[in-house]
Structures are given as C-alpha cells and as structure tokens.
Amino acid sequence: MNALVYLGPRRLEVQKRSVPELRPDSVLIRVKAVGICGSDVHGYTGESGRRRPPLVMGHEFAGVVESVAPGVDTSWVGRPVTVQPVLSCGRCDQCMAGQAQRCRSRSLLGANCDGAMAEFVVVPAKNLVPLLPPVDFVSATLAEPAAVAYHAVRKPTSLKDLVVLVCGGGPIGLFTALMAREAGARAVVISEIQERRRTLATALGLDAAVDPVASDLGSALFVFNPQGEADVSVDAVGILPTVEAALKFLKPGGDLVLLGGWKTLGLPMGTIVAKEARLLGSFNYRPEEFAAAANWVSLHRDVCGAVVSHTCKLQEGAEAFRRLAEEPSQIMKSVITLES
C-alpha cells in the first residue's frame, strides 16, 4: 500500500508499505479521507516533538471496513465509518470512571503509532463509529475536531443565556462557537486575526467576529454585555496573546476554558487570582462525545463543506503540509483524499 511517512522535521515521503496485519479485536479500514490537524503540522515542523519518525500520521479520518479479526462482528465489513482515535486501556481509574480521554496510558493513532495517512489502517473495533447516510467521507474527517469542541462546551456547568468569547477561529474554535450557540449561549463572539475566518464565522451566523489587533474586543462584547465582558471565555489557540485576551475580557468569577494548549506559558496569575477565574482544561473527548460529534457533523454538512477549504491526493500530501506550515492564513482545513 501507499503511505505518507514522516521522516523528520519538514520531511514527508510517499512510501510503499505492507498492509498492516489485523490484531485481536481489531478491524482493517480502507481509508477514504484523512484531515491534517494542526498538531500534525506542529509535529511535521518539529516544533512540538510529539511526532517521532518514521511515522504515518493522521487521526482525523473516515473509510470503509475492509476486514475484521476473528471474533469481531462481521457485519462491520463494508460499512462506512469514522474512528475515535484515542486509545485507552479501559482498566485504570480514569477509564473506569468514564473518562477515557484521561487514561493514564492513553495513546493516539497517528501520533504514538501509525495512523491513517495511508491506504489502510488497523484500529480497535471498539473505536468504530458508523457513518449516517448519505456518506460524505471528507466531511466525516471533521468528526474529530468537532468532538474536541463538543467536549469543550460541556466543561462549564451551563452556557444558557451567557455571553461566550472564543479566541481562535480555526476549525476547532469555529465548531466550539457554533456548539456554544446550540448549547443556549445568548451571544457568541469570535476573536480571530484572519479575515477569511472572520468572514466564515459571520456567514455561519455567529454574533460577531473581531480582529483583536485592529479592533477592541471589549467594544464588541459591550453590545451583548454592559460590562464589555464574557461570562465564559474559550482559548482555542494555545499561545500567550490569546490566553491573555480570553482572560482580560472574562468577567470576575467566570470560566476560562483552555483547549488549545500544548506549550508552557507564563500565565498572568495576578489577574487569575483577582478575578477568581475558574480555569477548565479541556482535553480530547469521551467516546460517547465523539459519537455525538460524528452525528453533529452528519447533520451540518453545509458547515463542513465551508470549513474544508482544500483537498489533495496522498501523493500531494507533502506539499499540503508545506503550505500549511508556511502559508497558514491561506488554508482553513486541508483534507487528503484516497478515493479510488
């Protein structure tokens, strides 16, 4: 089979590999489409150190079940699916408490083991999520970032009738904003420096999309809150300027949801303490949340079509990564297709 293999910082190459062998309780999937995540790009550049070569990346994907291991329900064969890519042990205290995303020995397809930027991938049968007809494999790749957002909007106790600020208008930030609105938020404001993303956010019905460099976020929030503050702030980027902005415009006693972070940042502790802000880390999703997000994606294909700005073939994958690393403002979401 063909596979796009990460060989080191900024080095990707399509190679011939053997089709992976089935393991107990697993299935073989013929990959139809796989999204390029921001974490994949950070791994590609060597910035994060979370991708170690040689590796087949790819954890946002959809395809068709080709075959199943002995003992796995054969009715899966031929079915279109997406896959919840977080691998958990099922035995630790966190897994037993229903918090598999916090598994003490968790791993991720495409990061800690070979993923789906290949014609075939083997995954645990328990991680399969069936796709609802009519099947759109490209849209289905967005189930994973949608699941991150689905989990994040459930970290606060409730969003009903609240003003929500989301810093970052990429796919996860946009999905978070849309889901916050569906969760009952009175108003949702996105802070985003890229004009194309702001335009998309307003086109999809969000209350405001603001350039935090050229405009005052407080003035935008003032339209919905006389204090010019958000009841809940979400940072979907994970860099100090966006975290600081999310905190600056958060009301005293408000919730700050952090879901974009992987870097070590120097947080403004004085502001956090003085506001008695509640910091809520949000990491991945529970399996049932992933399934719910996959259903959400199937019901919002128009949104998914607007979010996916670029598609390419596997042989063009290296160039797609290069563009994402060097020209991020030109691309909202890039998906590799493997349709035969």
Q: pLDDT digit string (tens) for 193-211?
A: 999 999 999 999 999 999 9
Phi, psi dihedral angles at 290 (to 5 degrees): -60, -45
Spatial CA neighbour of 3 closest among 121, 137, 123: 121
pLDDT band for position 122 (50/70/90)? very high
287 CB-near residues (< 8 Å, 6+ apart): 84, 86, 100, 127
pLDDT at res. 88: 96
pLDDT at res. 264: 83
Buried b (16+ CB within 10 A) or exposed e, 236-248: bbbeeebbbbbbb
According to CATH, the topology of domain 156-281 is: Rossmann fold (3.40.50)
pTM for the model stands at 0.96
State the Cα–Cα distance between residues 112 and 312, nearest whole angstrom. 25
Mean pLDDT of 29-38: 97
80 CB-near residues (< 8 Å, 6+ apart): 32, 62, 63, 64, 130, 131, 135, 137, 140
Q: Per CATH, is 2-146+285-337 categorized as 3.90.180.10? A: yes
Residues of the chain with CATH 3.90.180.10: 2-146+285-337
State the Cα–Cα distance between residues 255 and 340, nearest whole angstrom. 47
Judge residue 72's burial from the number of C-beta atoms within 10 Å of its C-beta, 0-12 exposed, 13-18 middle, 19 or more buried: buried
Higher pLDDT, 339 or 16: 16
Spatial CA neighbour of 287 closest among 95, 140, 41: 95
State the Cα–Cα distance between residues 162 and 155, nearest whole angstrom. 14
336 CB-near residues (< 8 Å, 6+ apart): 4, 33, 34, 35, 36, 58, 117, 311, 312, 313, 314, 316, 317, 320
Give me the chain's average pLDDT, please: 96
pLDDT (tens digit per residue) in 233-270: 999 999 999 999 999 999 999 999 999 877 788 889 99
Token digits of residue 187: 């108003």
Mean pLDDT of 265-289: 95
State the Cα–Cα distance between residues 180 and 217, nearest whole angstrom. 18
Residues of the chain with CATH 3.40.50.720: 156-281
Q: Which amino acid is at 3?
A: A
